[in-house]
Structure 1
Amino acid sequence: MPAGIEVSIEERKRLKGKVRPWMRWWLGREWAEVRRSVRSACVEAGPERDTLVQSLKAAGAAIAAWAVSGWWFQAPMALLAPWTAIAMVGSTVYHSVRTGVQQFAIIALGTVWASAAMAFTHDQTMVAMLFTLPFMMLLGNYRRFGSQGIYGATTALFVITGGVSSTSTVGHRLLETLIGAVIGLLINAFVLPPVHLRSVRDRLVRLVRETADVLGAMAEGLREEDAVERSASWHLWAGGLTVSLQNVGEARRWAMEGSRWNPGGRLRRTGPKPPPFVEDSRWGRVCTRVLALTRTLKTISGDTELTPPSPDFLRLLSDVLSQAGRICAIETELLSGSGSGELRERRDAAFGEAWSSLSSLTDAFHDQEPSASAVGGELLLEARQLMTELAPSA
């Protein structure tokens, strides 16, 4: 056997030994995520259960549409009904109605155009595709059709490959599409209609919890000798808060859209109302202050010309951030709906201690060397603004 092949086999064995542990780790992580999602869907209300309900509703809508069009009416193109019904079970009732109008319009256009192309070409499939698909793909990108534009071309394919272009067949296809749209809309609107009120609270609680985690990590790390060097990881972590903030805004939009044309407010127990919109703005400002603090600390580590504050100043800053993290942790419990007088007293006490630590931090700033005043002043300003946003009266 040539030497090159022997080397190749040995190299393959070596790589194989490295790949297997990585694959086991990846499969283990994925299996753990699946188990967590299944357990969450079974034991508590949340996004996982919402996904389970919507998936089962879409499957039920497809089965019901097939039962009506294929089993009862014996429609020649019954596939269109369940196919349309699945797409109709959207995230909100309003979304289902809007999607239904868009989808029925584009499917009707695809059906009529493809049928006309088949009649014009005397049922020649390849020539009918040349006349139909380029036009339907361009038409599907028209913004009024939204994400449903692709259904025009796929419907045209169904019609062309069916090989029949009579007027009665076109009418059957439109009727089957309408049956699927109506069944999907009715099931989505009257069988556990999605209301999305809880998602706002859940995502806002997650944002506040993540903010508390970042502040806690910063408070702990600032007491270490390598505090400035670890600031890059804090800044990256704090940057993830903007994603969570965007998720809160998205959930707020879903909640507003979910209440339109939705009988769910009368058919389902929706639970407590989501926190007011002012909380979104407040925690958005808090995240901005946290990100500014981490950015300033990261700047110190990357610029050798800047003089970092003294260890005493960083220790007092750690005390302020530790109390801020405690406030965020208490706010998490309050936003979760477990509000009580005791929690509010704990929050007020933590805020008082934080403000006292902030006063000590201000005194330490005045004792700084002039070369460190620029960085120390910026950290002090951001910490003060952070506490202002966290104030109970904010």
Structure 2
Amino acid sequence: MATSMKSSSIRKAQVPVSCYFCKGQQIKWKCDDCNVRMCNSCKVTVHQGLPSTKDHAVVSIQDIGKSSPGSQAVTPVVISSVSNSYTTTLPAVTALLCSDDDLLIFKFSGKKSAKHQVIRGKLLKSSIQILQKLKKSIFDIAINKDGEILFIDYKTNKIQLLSPTGEVNTNLDTSPMVPLAIHVNKDNEVIVGMREQGSPYPVQDFSVRQVIIFGRDYQRKITLEFDKKGNKLFSYTLRIRTDSRNVVYVLDSFDDDDNGRVVAVDRNGRLKFTYDGQTDLVTFQPTGITITPSNNIVVSDRGNDALHVINSKGDLLGLQFIFKDLGIYDPYSLCFDTEGYLLIGCGREIKKDNGKIHVVKMTDSLM
């Protein structure tokens, strides 16, 4: 009798998981967002046919074990080579973008308003050709599909547009909310991090900390503020980026020293993960973020002069202390150019220096 019960238990354990939709048994795919497994046919005819699943992450069952937490070794080499380094006219490059035609947009925001600058330029073989300058008090910058620079003027709480010809126009007034960070995604939507008036820290129960997605017409489409349990998603939005599926990645700051974390959230407000750095690091000060073609996230950590590379599930893939290894100091900002090179905007190493832009090649396995 005991033997019969044991055999029955074994047989039950060996019954394969069936397709969520058709109840068949040839499981090939899993949707991380829906948390369902499916066969080839239902993946195409059912799952992909739903408008709400357009940006969902569907992975092969064979790849699930390969990408599970702890299954992949962390590489200590994020940068395989340094191609070039440029010295700018600014004390630090606190934000950095590349346009589709490889024009470079970078900025510095200092304590004195006279030092605030946005510069549009072109990287030449041995220098940066300056094409355009704008002196304003600016929180953050973005670039739209027309090559126009969007910037946050924190003296007026306005989002303004700088055209290539030098015209400045106001596109959105966010008053009474204070805009903090801005990003334009692949669909030309404008994403803005905002907070209420008053002191930014500490974050109180009544504090309003939002990331808002606006359409091309600057009409509000989506507001991200709370997770599904009613907890605040953000403290202080420092930078925003999105991947090819329009998942939103926020550099979320806790204090004036830029200690913080990475918050990943989908357009439905579902928290995908938070990344707080490594447990053996005393601090984690994320100030720059960019996304690789394979949707890995690269984060610059000023507190440790390091680069962190994490995947779309929040697992650490690579960590490199770039000052120790390469002499790259004070990394503020990151972006990729059209040839796949990573650009790192930095502060000055000593007082007489100016900020630098380093052009580096990332390890292929992390791209």
TM category (shorter chain) comes to under 0.3
Q: Which has the higher strand share?
A: 2
Query: TM-score scaled to structure 2, two decimals?
Result: 0.17
TM-score for both structures, normalised by structure 1: 0.16
